[in-house]
Amino acid sequence: MTFKTKESRLLLILGSFFVANAILSEFIGVKIFTVEGTLGIEKFNINLLGVPNLSYNMSAGVLTWPIIFIMTDIINEYFGVKQVRYLSILTAILIAYAFVVVGGAMHLQPSDFWVTQNINGQSLNMNNAFAGIFGQGMWIIVGSIVAFLVGQIADVLIFHKIKKITGDKALWLRATGSTLVSQCIDSFVVIFIAFYLNPQYHWSWQMVAAIGLVNYTYKFVVAILMTPILYIVHGIIDRFLGKDLAHRMITMAGRG
């Protein structure tokens, strides 16, 4: 099989970015960073639902999630619901596969010369560092995969519900609107499974709700800021396909 048509090449490119960024998000997500510190501002220290001193400590996975949702909306726009669902299920399977492979790599006996390394003037046990970075707990893995699938399903359904009302107009509304809802679902589902259901943490409902709300406000702002990029990508694709082909694909995608 060859990718001779513009449509097939476009789907290959979009799908590859979609899958790659989803898997990247899972593995870089183990790092927690401070948004305020990164921006060089004071921590907000929010008190919410009885949970004190909350600030914007985010998973580094938020760096690639906006790209995933842009890819979701673009694929939805040009190829329809079925292609997004197929890619979402495939991506969830590949994420699970990646964790299985990493789990196998963690159980390999490390070479003696590799275990102790000097990194930036500090002596590190590389085997422990490898396990600490890649060895995410089962609850977190399950939570992230379930949140991803539920968020994707919500995104495509809301996208097409809005499109039925607005037609081909108001791309910003269906794309950003569907992303805002799906990001909300994603924010709470992953925390609920990974930290509320997980007996290792025993988080309260208040803790889940408070941290979920703080995380969602960050994602809300980022989703709004990414809207112009959606139009830029849309314009590039229209020029690549040509107006007639782009219009036909969007029309066919809207029929399900």
pLDDT single digits (tens) 154-178: 888 898 888 888 877 888 888 888 8
pLDDT at 2: 62
Residue of 77, 95, 93 lying closest to 21 (CA atoms): 95
Segment 79-116, tens digit of pLDDT: 988 999 999 999 999 999 999 999 999 999 999 999 99
**Structure tokens of 234?**
């849309």
Give 28: exposed, middle or buried? Use CB within 10 Å, 0-12, 13-18, 19+. Answer: middle
Note the helical H segments in the chain. Answer: 6-28, 35-39, 65-79, 81-106, 112-115, 126-134, 138-166, 171-191, 205-225, 227-241, 243-254
pLDDT at 199: 81
pLDDT at 169: 81
Q: pTM score, two decimals? A: 0.87
Segment 129-153, tens digit of pLDDT: 898 888 777 788 888 899 999 988 8
Residue of 132, 133, 140, 230 lying closest to 179 (CA atoms): 230
CB atoms within 10 A of CB 191: 21
Segment 25-80, tens digit of pLDDT: 988 988 889 999 999 999 988 898 888 889 999 989 889 988 888 899 999 999 98
